[in-house]
Structure 1
């Protein structure tokens, strides 16, 4: 079959050569494949944020091998896997990173443990280079998913706990999914029954802010907070011409309570 594209998502950052080395491995095996770098700025070891970044992006990408590495368990007995979903194959650690994106792509139809396409020497600390990138490259070049290793029962794949969200009259209880590069704080909740212009008290962990319900960042005065639905369909707390993260210092998974002004 093969793929023209390999998307690439990691927590490697850009200060080191890790993303470039992985792309080099891909280039040696599948020189015609194009690598689409989604992000290498997932917070270090934050599997939940990596899963959200990947899931919110894959629906806009061409059919591809989706290579994702946020892997705090590298070198342990956690499985490296390839997951087939729709027209795509997702390659990465079996730690919950791939499952939400597979759901966006139509659901998991098959899964395989990666045992076949590895570099000759496999480091205990860099499976992105030695296991995941070679497998992604071979799939892009035309290997079938069932050639990467033995089948795995999709029901046995690791799944992340579902984020907490409860919507009640005048109150939403939810949690932080993550923070983007602009300092916007994305929440797990996707709706709030409040009209634009309504004010909300947003308690995020041990900090809080008063925010106006709006549709755009400019619905709040410069330096003030706005609660809106972001491009991924989640509620987000933003500060117009500023950073909500700087005000709230949220951590992933932090509890959030939104209370409508009365």
Structure 2
């Protein structure tokens, strides 16, 4: 596969030279490849957050080599992999980071275990020494099988599916992700509201732990005054709790993994 684009996601941040080193490796091996920096602000070692962001972004990317590195297991026996899915090949650690993105691309169809390591002597920077070289080689036209032995795609690591229960008059869902604005996206969408018979309601009750409130179900943040909470379907199609010009996560004390009930 020859790709004009490499899409790049990490938890490296921008305070150090880690992202630049990986860009440099790509430029040396595949100088004509263009890099889309998806984000480098995934919370440190938060594989789940990275997996959500990658899966949500992938449908809007051009056909790409997707280089994703959120890797708390660097230096261990966890595998490095390249996974073909739809128009993309995803490269990174086999720790669940890539699986939801592969699903978003139509499902993994082929995978290999990465064998090559750059001869730097380091064992703590696989983004630079394993994953970026593999992504660059693919972008330069190297065939997937040349990167390493084929893997059974059924053995690729998956993160646990987020908790969701839909019943008459209620949707109970895990907080799937919190974005930088403090919007709290649930592992539920408009179809789940409809299945529970809650679609079309002007207001719904949201509760989590000891907190409970009746909120408007609105099409946008600005449908309520500044500082007020609202329930909406966000840009990824998820049911979300938000505060207009504020942080729902901070004001409601919610974080990923918490369970929220939406009811009439």
Query: TM-score category by the smaller chain?
Result: over 0.9
Q: Distance in 2 between matches of 1:53 and 1:122?
A: 32
Deviation at 1:88, TM superposition (A): 1.2
Deviation at 1:259, TM superposition (A): 3.0
| The 10-residue stretch of structure 1 (193-202 or 237-246) with the greater mean CA deviation from structure 2 | 193-202
Pairing of 1:167-186 with structure 2 (within 5 A): 167-186=166-185
Uncovered stretches (5+) of structure 2, i.e. residues with no partner? none
Q: 1:16 to 1:211 in 2, by over 3 A?
A: farther
Deviation at 1:210, TM superposition (A): 4.2
Aligned with 2:124: secondary structure? coil
4+ runs deviating over 4 angstroms: 205-210
- TM-score between both structures, scaled by the size of structure 2: 0.93
Aligned with 1:91: secondary structure? strand
- Does residue 1:58 correspond to 2:62, yes or no? no
Aligned with 2:189: secondary structure? coil
RMSD between aligned residues: 1.5
CA contact (8 A) 1:66 1:89 kept: yes
- TM-score between both structures, scaled by the size of structure 1: 0.93
Q: Distance in 2 between matches of 1:209 and 1:247?
A: 12
CA contact (8 A) 2:63 2:88 kept: yes
Partner of 1:142: 141
Uncovered stretches (5+) of structure 1, i.e. residues with no partner? none
Q: 1:220 to 1:36 in 2, by over 3 A?
A: same
Deviation at 1:140, TM superposition (A): 0.3
- Does residue 1:102 correspond to 2:102, yes or no? yes
| The 10-residue stretch of structure 1 (102-111 or 188-197) with the greater mean CA deviation from structure 2 | 188-197
CA contact (8 A) 2:11 2:41 kept: yes
CA contact (8 A) 2:86 2:105 kept: yes
